[in-house]
Structure 1
Amino acid sequence: MHISASNSLLWVLFRVNSVSYVGVQNERMVPEDMYLLSPDGFVLSTPLLNSYAHKAPKCNECAPLFLKVFEMRNAGAIIHSHGMESCLVTMINSFSKEFRITHMEMIKGIQGHGYHDELVVPIIENTALEGELLESLTQAIRAYPKITAVLVRNHGVFIWGDSWASAKSQVRLSGRRITLPH
């Protein structure tokens, strides 16, 4: 899972490595394990070299995607997960461009939705490199003004909120809302 957060100056913290490349678990990350970027993507500071064996890992390939969500939604935090449930829900109908669900208790917890509402989450097609998702992610965010998530087919999900606590809450709810019934 990639976790990003910003402060009121729009500086952005990014997770250093995408799949625990150097074995840093999310729960053990400290500010020294992250890149600090400006709103336009310039690296302001890098992880401390002494935290890694040889050299600091390169900045996350999702950085431009996170910056776009911050820009378009004024998000306080973004979480990117490769969770199995989010992958499976995109496989139910391989031609669908949306995941739709209604009358599920957990929908009430999704920002801007209630139990009787239909929750619609766009599905964009995966690409060979995460950075190549920028155009389709941008289009999905424009086309769905109420959303706080975008699914990526056979890949995962980007979820955001006003704060890290809000984003984390959306993730917990999303995990339940997109889990296939038993």
Structure 2
Amino acid sequence: MNPDLPQDHPRNIIPELCRLYYSNGWMPGSGGSLSIKYGEEIYITPSGVQKERIQPEDLFVQTVEGEDISGPPSKKALRKSQCSPVFLNIYRLKKPGAVFHLHSKSSVMATLLAEDNTVHLSNLQMIKGIRKWSTGENHKFTDDVSIPIIDNTHREDELVDGMTKAMDNYPDTCAVLVRGHGIYAWGQTWEQTKLVCESYDYLFDIMLQLRTAGVREIRHT
């Protein structure tokens, strides 16, 4: 933590979340990336690094239009996140306060078991942790929640077109899944984004365990 910055500054929050998500198994190896908007600046983790070792000075800072504001010390030779174009596209289209990209096992498995290009959830209490992006209201647990899935690409920036179409087709969603890859999720604040990611991971895990038990649909009585 950098004591010279506010406790809630992205340079303090992002390394803390990276350590948490590494310990959760959501950012294994050098996978995944986090970003937080602070004023007019977007703070983004670097690419190809072990996320549990990220320090406050390691972050790249850009405008929402992709202009570089600052970066890590040159002696560290860090590279800008490959997720940056995807993040910035979401910031421009959805105006969130944070966007996270995670490689949790449950999100990957959910994309591989889905029978179409959507994961459907209903009648689970943690659905109440998910917001309808178009209205800002939280879902009821009885709502039918649909999370779009797009196909993976060889390069992260090639996901932009698929992400844009998914967000257009699912205006209520605050997350898009990438088949065999992971999840992109956003919220009005980093706290909301954290809640969305944790809620979805729990819900996907429940869905997968039910599939293992041979249950394909949860009915409300």
Q: Output the TM-score relative to the length of structure 1.
A: 0.89
Structure 1 residue runs of 4+, over 3 Å off?
A: 28-31
Q: Distance in 1 between matches of 2:116 and 2:174?
A: 19
SS at match of 1:170: helix
Q: 1:43 aligns with which of 68, 72, 75?
A: 68
SS at match of 1:166: helix
Q: Relative to structure 1, is the Cα distance of residues 58 and 161 closer, same or farther in structure 2, using a 3 angstrom cutoff? A: same
Q: Distance in 2 between matches of 1:159 and 1:39?
A: 17
**Higher RCO, Cα 8 Å, sep 6+:** 1
Q: 1:107 aligns with which of 110, 127, 130?
A: 127
Which blocks of at least 5 consecutive residues in structure 2 are unaligned?
A: 1-31, 132-137, 213-221
Q: Distance in 2 between matches of 1:6 and 1:178?
A: 27
Deviation at 1:24, TM superposition (A): 4.4
Q: 2:156 aligns with which of 127, 130, 145?
A: 130
Q: Which amino acid aligns with 2:89?
A: K
Q: Distance in 2 between matches of 1:30 and 1:160?
A: 23
Question: Taking every aligned residue pair, what percent have the same amino acid on both sides?
Answer: 29
Q: Which amino acid aligns with 2:112?
A: M
Q: Does 1:4 align with 2:29?
A: no
Q: Distance in 2 between matches of 1:89 and 1:143?
A: 20
Q: Report the equivalent of 2:79.
A: 58
Deviation at 1:167, TM superposition (A): 0.4
Q: Distance in 2 between matches of 1:121 and 1:24?
A: 26
Q: Which amino acid aligns with 2:204?
A: I
SS at match of 1:150: strand
More strand by proportion, 1 or 2? Answer: 1
Q: Report the equivalent of 2:95.
A: 74
Q: Distance in 1 between matches of 2:55 and 2:78?
A: 15
Q: Distance in 1 between matches of 2:156 and 2:51?
A: 20
Two-structure CA RMSD over aligned residues (Å): 1.4
Deviation at 1:117, TM superposition (A): 0.2
Q: Distance in 1 between matches of 2:110 and 2:129?
A: 19
Q: Does 1:157 align with 2:192?
A: no
Per-residue CA deviations over 1:70-93 (Å, capped at 9, x if unaligned) read: 111111001100111111001113
Per-residue CA deviations over 1:110-147 (Å, capped at 9, x if unaligned) read: 11311110010000000111110000001111111111
More helix by proportion, 1 or 2? Answer: 2
Q: Which has the larger radius of gyration?
A: 2
